[in-house]
Amino acid sequence: RKEVEQDPGPFNVPEGATVAFNCTYSNSASQSFFWYRQDCRKEPKLLMSVYSSGNEDGRFTAQLNRASQYISLLIRDSKLSDSATYLCVVTFISNFGNEKLTFGTGTRLTIIP
Amino acid sequence: NAGVMQNPRHLVRRRGQEARLRCSPMKGHSHVYWYRQLPEEGLKFMVYLQKENIIDESGMPKERFSAEFPKEGPSILRIQQVVRGDSAAYFCASHPDRAEAHRAEAFFGQGTRLTVV
């Protein structure tokens, strides 16, 4: 089983629609959770952290369910500029004492005009 | 405050040559991660370094790959005798001291795209 699993997509969504991505992780000792965004041939950039209580940043809402080891990202009123690959990132403290970021393979989103 | 700097951005090597990829972390960051991203795949952890120390190299291939982060200068990822399968984007990330790591994001460089011909 992969450490972090995501539906690779692609998700082709009309502009203005709402889209949701899911991510599951296998390590119950995982400590921190993030969604990163990666544009084509660019570096990943932090979109938002994910907290157990759920958090919202404008049109973006992230949820964490530790019991089910499940993370979600909801994008409302999608814009053309939201087209990108969304990476689910989970961290845990490795045997070497470092925080190890583990990436999902990403979900590709294309917003259609 | 300059971000994470990687160079070169693009590197072409013939099979059997050596590739040296450089990464300068953000100012104030002493922790560096290297990741590899193969075409159409996710980022795979390679190695984690602090200044003058390799902390976790569990993601490094056993042969031909090495990494260092000297006291002075950038972190270097070195690939000897490159093969076509080494063609990928190599990203470096840095973040602050480990004590704050779980609350801090990792900042990525723009990556080095290695092409082996």
Would the CB atoms of B42 and A106 count as touching at under 8 Å?
Answer: yes
Question: Considering CB atoms only, which of A32, A46, A102 is closest to B45?
Answer: A102
Whole-number Å distance between alpha carbons of B65 and B58 = 12
Instruction: Please work out, in degrees rounded to the nearest 5, the angle formed at the alpha carbon of residue A68 by the alpha carbons of A66 and A72.
Output: 75
B55 with A99: Cβ contact below 8 A = no
CA distances from A100 to A5, A12, A54, B77 (A): 16, 32, 23, 18
Using left for φ > 0, alpha for ψ between -120 and 50, and beta otherwise, residue B91 falls in: beta
For residues A3 and A88, what is the distance between their CA atoms, to the nearest angstrom? 11
pLDDT tens for each residue of chain B, 117 residues long: 568 999 999 999 999 999 999 999 988 788 899 999 988 788 899 999 988 899 899 999 999 999 999 988 999 999 999 999 999 999 999 877 655 545 557 889 999 999 999
Shortest distance, CA A50 to any CA of chain B (angstroms) = 11
| Residues of B whose CB is below 8 A from A33 | none
